[in-house]
Amino acid sequence: MTYQATLEYLYTQLPMFTRQGEKAYKKDLHNTLALCEALGNPQQKFKSIHIAGTNGKGSTSHMLAAILQQAGYKTGLYTSPHIKDFGERIRINGNMIAQQFVVDFVERTKKITASIEPSFFELTVAMAFEYFAQQQIDIAVIETGLGGLLDSTNVITPELSVITNIGFDHVNILGNTLEAIAFQKAGIIKKNVPVVIGEYLPETKPVFEAKAKQENAPIVFANNLFEIENAQQQNLLHCTVKDTGNFKSSDFDLDLTGAYQLKNLKTVLASVKQLNELGYNISDEQVRIAFSQVKQLTGMRGRWDILQTNPTVIQDVAHNTDGIKQVLEQLNNYYPQSKIHFVLGFVKDKDVAHVLELFPKNAGYYFTNAHIPRALPAAELKELALEKALTGNCFDNVNDAIASAKANALNNDVVMICGSFFIIAEIE
């Protein structure tokens, strides 16, 4: 098969959560373990860092990968979903997985795939592990797909576990309380393996502490280790970070310019501190350089990307309550005098009605949908928005929605595109 034919097979023949939702989600690790066993357990042949969380796990994964690359380590990176190209999911030192490897792997595993009937995610996790093992990487940064305890990636024993934060997302699968969701995410905490917690809440901290105690895992809370001072948005996001242990201050410039990245920054710095204690050799200067070049080093996209100015057009993959709150807060801080034109598209299994309550009523709205089965049709989104006094027009194609928003916007207005990875993926 060609590369494109192979991808078509992956997308259409295997259950795919990003397209189909909950019915594609496998609630145990049996398939992944069986696949890995058939491949000779590649997950045991490389070192790793495991990252979970409701928001920020993608950014944190890319930041850590950039730092490890800059420090001279051959670094694998597994993230999901992809935005434009399947290869974004599996990278080594920023380079996407070789297309021929994808073709050969799918062909080679067709018999076991027919027997096990894995999901798309289960097979791509096994593919990533096989690729990293074959390429003899020094370390891989592995982002969970959904949850932690039962996530397909949770067959690794990492050097370090990281949990960025806990919020309400995928409540139909992970549970409808913060404690229940935290319990699922805490499933990545392993025996004697240190864990870094980014943000925590009164409801979630005891869950993490109990699991860490059970596993004899040293636990560190990043929020207690660092304080952000003097954050300023220019071309890069500049900030001063004070280490609360030695009161030493360091300046950083981030090319991931969303203000919410300051929370992830603390999580990453705490993780680097743990890695150095484990024997890795990562200097302050390497961290500083990496933070300013994450997009260049790892190919990361979709986080507060400014596509043009006059009017300013921004895309962000924020798609749940906490993510949207952060985007709205940043718009209010950075563009307090500007009219905002929101290009919105969501998937059906989000609590869209609750998310819509967050949006301002004095903005312009352009409702759209991605072309996947999970997408919430633009007309339904418009009806839900109308119940919250948000009015606008429907567009079946995100690019038409953006064109309309730009046509209606003045030079100092902002067009904000958000709500789903999948509408971002369809931007031309």
When pLDDT is averaged across residues 10-23 and rounded to a whole number, the result is 62
Last residue of a domain, one of 298, 321, 343: 298
Strand 340-344 and strand 414-418: pairing? parallel
Token digits of residue 68: 């490890």
DSSP track, 162-211: EE----S-SHHHH-SSHHHHHHHHGGG--TT--EEE-S--TTTHHHHHHH
**Where does residue 226 rank: exposed (0-12), middle (13-18), buried (19+ CB within 10 A)?**
buried
Q: Is the pLDDT of residue 260 over 70?
A: yes
Co-location of 354 and 388 in the same domain: yes
Q: Is the pLDDT of residue 14 over 90?
A: no
Co-location of 84 and 172 in the same domain: yes
> Dihedral sign, CA of 180, 184, 190, 193?
negative
- pLDDT value of residue 174: 66
Co-location of 45 and 138 in the same domain: yes
- pLDDT digit string (tens) for 321-368? 888 998 999 999 889 999 999 999 999 877 899 999 999 999 999 999
DSSP track, 57-90: HHHHHHHHHHHHHHTT--EEEE-SS-SS-GGGGE
- pLDDT value of residue 366: 98
Co-location of 258 and 310 in the same domain: no
Domain extent at residue 23:
3-298
∠ CA 192-193-197, rounded to 5°: 125
Co-location of 293 and 309 in the same domain: no
- pLDDT value of residue 18: 44
* C-alpha to C-alpha distance for 343 and 415, rounded to whole angstroms: 7
Q: Is the pLDDT of residue 26 over 80?
A: no
**Which segments of 310-387 are extended strands (E)?**
312-315, 340-344, 364-368
Last residue of a domain, one of 248, 277, 298: 298
When pLDDT is averaged across residues 294-317 and rounded to a whole number, the result is 94
Sheet holding 219-221, edge to edge: 95-96, 90-92, 75-78, 139-143, 48-52, 160-163, 195-197, 219-221
CATH number of 347's domain: 3.90.190.20
- pLDDT value of residue 230: 85
- pLDDT value of residue 20: 43
Q: Residue 17: pLDDT band by 50, 70, 90 thresholds?
A: very low
Last residue of a domain, one of 267, 298, 329: 298
Co-location of 56 and 140 in the same domain: yes
Co-location of 195 and 316 in the same domain: no
Mean per-residue pLDDT of the chain: 92
What share of the chain in percent tops pLDDT 90?
78
- pLDDT digit string (tens) for 47-104? 999 999 988 999 999 999 999 999 999 999 999 999 999 999 999 999 999 999 999 9
Number of domains composing the chain: 2
SS3 call for 36: helix
Would you give the DSSP letter of residue 378? H
Co-location of 165 and 28 in the same domain: yes
Q: Residue 313: pLDDT band by 50, 70, 90 thresholds?
A: very high
Co-location of 268 and 348 in the same domain: no
When pLDDT is averaged across residues 423-428 and rounded to a whole number, the result is 94
Residue identified by tokens 């009523």 is 361
Query: CB-hemisphere CA count at 13 Å for 8?
Result: 5
- pLDDT digit string (tens) for 215-253? 999 999 999 999 998 888 878 899 999 999 888 999 999
- pLDDT value of residue 27: 66
- pLDDT digit string (tens) for 376-387? 999 999 999 999
Co-location of 238 and 338 in the same domain: no
- pLDDT digit string (tens) for 141-172? 999 998 889 999 999 999 999 999 987 655 55
Q: Residue 298: pLDDT band by 50, 70, 90 thresholds?
A: very high
SS3 call for 138: coil
Co-location of 242 and 205 in the same domain: yes
SS3 call for 305: strand
Co-location of 267 and 127 in the same domain: yes
CATH number of 198's domain: 3.40.1190.10
